């Protein structure tokens, strides 16, 4: 075992202090202009999801492809899951993040599929 490995033993999950370090070090998203009002929450959600080692569902291409209402709904889900609070309490909910992201990915894919089937009609703002 290398120094520092004990902080991420699979049996115990990722230590909250490590999650907070990863969140602070996360690269910022390039948020499209149409979503600027959601930028603080998007930055926070993205950094925290990536800190948990889960693929970020808020990639730049996806944000540009989704209607704003779909992203607003995703932020509501993140809020409900406790991921967007102001303090470090979110780190205690880290085990819920993979299921949250899976649900977001499914909803996003459904929206993108609908947009392909009904171009222009499904992109309600």
Once rounded to an integer, what is the mean pLDDT over residues 1-24? 66
Q: Is 114 helix (H, G, I), strand (E, B) or coil?
A: helix
Write down the domain spans for the chain.
36-125
Q: Is 61 helix (H, G, I), strand (E, B) or coil?
A: helix
| Each residue's pLDDT tens digit, 23-77 | 999 999 999 999 999 999 999 999 999 999 999 999 999 999 999 999 999 999 9
pLDDT for the residue numbered 37: 96
Give the burial string for 20-58 (b: 16+ CB within 10 Å, else e): eebbeebeebebbeebeebeebbebbbbbbbbbebebbb
């Amino acid at each position: 075992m290398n120094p520092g490995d004990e902080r991420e033993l699979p049996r115990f999950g990722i230590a909250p202090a490590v999650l907070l370090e990863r969140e602070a070090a996360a690269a910022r998203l390039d948020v499209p202009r149409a979503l600027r009002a959601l930028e603080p929450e998007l930055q926070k959600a993205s950094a925290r999801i990536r800190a948990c080692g889960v693929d970020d569902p808020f990639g730049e291409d996806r944000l540009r492809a989704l209607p704003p209402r779909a992203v607003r709904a995703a932020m509501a889900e993140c809020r409900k899951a406790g991921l967007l609070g102001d303090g470090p309490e979110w780190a205690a909910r880290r085990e819920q993040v993979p299921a949250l992201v899976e649900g977001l990915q499914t909803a996003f894919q459904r929206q993108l599929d609908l947009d392909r089937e009904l171009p222009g009609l499904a992109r309600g703002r």
